Chains A and B, each alone.
Chain A
Amino acid sequence: MNERQEFDVVVAGAGPAGIAAACAAAESGAAVGLIDDNSEPGGQVWRRDRSHAPSQLARFWLNRLERASIHRFSQTRIVAATARSRVLVVEQPRGSFEVSYRKLVLATGARERFLPFPGWTLPGVVGAGGLQALVKSGLDVQGARIVVAGTGPLLLAAASHLRLAGARIQAIVEQAPLPSLTRFALQSARYGKAAQALGLGLDLIGVPLHVSSWIEAAEGARRVSAVRVRVLKKVKTYPCDYVATSFGLAPNIELPVLAGCEIEDGFVAVTGGQRTSVKDVYAAGEITGIGGVDSALAEGQEAGSGNALGADRWLPFKRLLHDTFNPRDELRSLAAPETIVCRCEDVRRSALDGMTCWREAKLQTRCGMGTCQGRVCGAALQFLNGWRNESVRPPLLPARVETLANPGRRSR
């Protein structure tokens, strides 16, 4: 087996942004490697669904990817990067090796952001996208009672998908206030999103939608059995089998940080043509600001082709998304002193009292040092305490120990 594979362009992440970048680069004649840790391309939004055919947009891009001459590495995770030598260390289920590039496009996307509330560690409290993913991978939710809560357009998308799968959606609980939501609906029409939103709205007729509302607590002995929801000044209790919760998305900036890219307000800073602060390293998609599939595609094409194609027309939409769904300040007090913040190490909020930064918290409580490497509590504490966890050390999880000891050597 090759110990090192060389490409003109390497694209990290095969979501919409990475697919668009890889296609644009390959179609202009470059030797392209596309790396993703899933078994199939598509990223978050085009994740394979056993019960539904892919959308037209997904089919178009996946076909284009199929036709382009691109070396695809699936089930391959990038665990380390050294920008100076232009080498990535990658890991596959059966071994690890290196990949070198002249140009690197980072398109590592985003994950769901969770904010802690009392009871959020109970079994049955699941991410909104997470529950969708479980349904796509075979979970039957026929007849299950589900409360969908948090913030952002994904709540409606998840509710609609779960309902189609037979779930009984008890309520949708959105923290954003009605005036912002109305403004969002009106303004997003400009970006061709209105029909989409309307379609979701129609799907969900009959489901109570509470705005300016949030979950106060999930209740249950060994799994969730009900949630208490604050609706204006009242508290309503909904019995349920699952709570699908998500407070927007958090960008996967670990690899960009390792590659030395400058981070601004939590996202990878880019200038014209999606260039990062590091020479010959580009970034596209959610890691440069949450904007959804269309802006990811536009930025990907720009990053892959090296030409400015006007992807910045999506900036106002990204800002609109952020302004509409940025969690309100009241949510900072949702987590009680005894609420667990770091689920890997069971660190309670009160254990962090008086601490001023991540470093202190890690040293004294092991917060963020468990197996998820702070991927869940990091985004929560950024919101709760304003802490930024921007020091990333390789290997990016989950790497096997021998990968970094002997890059290039394959294990059995």
Chain B
Amino acid sequence: MLRAIERIPITVNGEPRMVPRGASVAAALLGLGITEFRRSVTGEPRAPLCGMGICMECRVTVDGALHTLACQTEVCEGMTVRTDE
């Protein structure tokens, strides 16, 4: 299944990164090797569990909007994402 996937630039935690166009933010972050999406109330690292908008474990900050569900949000050019907030 080798196909050319177009990549687009976004900023993750202040650093420029390239991610697949059309991907969800969750898929894009995991693809970059980022697995700490948020901290739980006792400070544990957490990452997507359900992949479909139910568990709320994938919350990140997208373009300044806190608590955005990464699994339900598509990446777009120039997007800024912050994890761990």
Query: CB within 8 A of B26: which of A114, A134, A223?
Result: A134
User: Distance (Å) between the CB of B60 and the closest chain A CB?
Assistant: 13
Q: Which of A37, A51, A112, A134 has the most CB of B within 10 A?
A: A134
User: Distance (Å) between the CB of A158 and the closest chain B CB?
Assistant: 11
Query: CB within 8 A of A137: which of B27, B45, B57?
Result: B27
Report how far A138 CA is from B67 CA in the complex, Å: 21
* Cβ of A256 under 8 Å from chain B: no
* Cβ of B52 under 8 Å from chain A: yes
- For B, the interface residue count at a CB cutoff of 8 angstroms equals 33
- The answer to whether A134 and B71 have CB atoms under 8 Å apart is yes
B15-47 CB mask vs A (1 if < 8 Å, else 0) is 000001011101110110001110011101111
Counting contact residues on chain A (CB < 8 A from B), the size range is: 35 or more
Query: CB within 8 A of A345: which of B23, B41, B47, B49?
Result: B41
Report how far A344 CA is from B49 CA in the complex, Å: 12
Report how far A124 CA is from B30 CA in the complex, Å: 9
A352-375 CB mask vs B (1 if < 8 Å, else 0) is 000000000000000000111001
- The answer to whether A137 and B50 have CB atoms under 8 Å apart is no
- The answer to whether A123 and B36 have CB atoms under 8 Å apart is yes
- The answer to whether A139 and B31 have CB atoms under 8 Å apart is yes
* Cβ of A22 under 8 Å from chain B: no
Taking CB atoms, residues of chain B closer than 8 Å to A131 are 51
- The answer to whether B47 and A137 have CB atoms under 8 Å apart is no
- The answer to whether B46 and A343 have CB atoms under 8 Å apart is yes
* Cβ of B1 under 8 Å from chain A: yes
Among residues 37 to 79 in chain A, which have CB atoms less than 8 Å away from a CB atom of chain B? 37, 44, 50-51
Other A-B pairs beyond A126-B47, A138-B28, A346-B40, 13, CB < 8 Å? A111-B54, A124-B47, A130-B52, A134-B30, A134-B71, A138-B27, A138-B31, A140-B31, A165-B1, A343-B49, A343-B55, A345-B41, A375-B55
Q: Could you list 21 A-B pairs, sorted by A, with CB under 8 Å?
A: A37-B53, A51-B1, A111-B54, A121-B44, A124-B47, A126-B48, A126-B49, A129-B52, A130-B49, A130-B51, A131-B51, A134-B51, A135-B27, A137-B24, A138-B23, A140-B31, A343-B40, A344-B41, A376-B50, A376-B54, A376-B55
Query: What is B's interface to A at a CB cutoff of 8 Å?
Result: 1, 20, 22-24, 26-28, 30-31, 35-37, 40-42, 44-57, 59, 67, 71
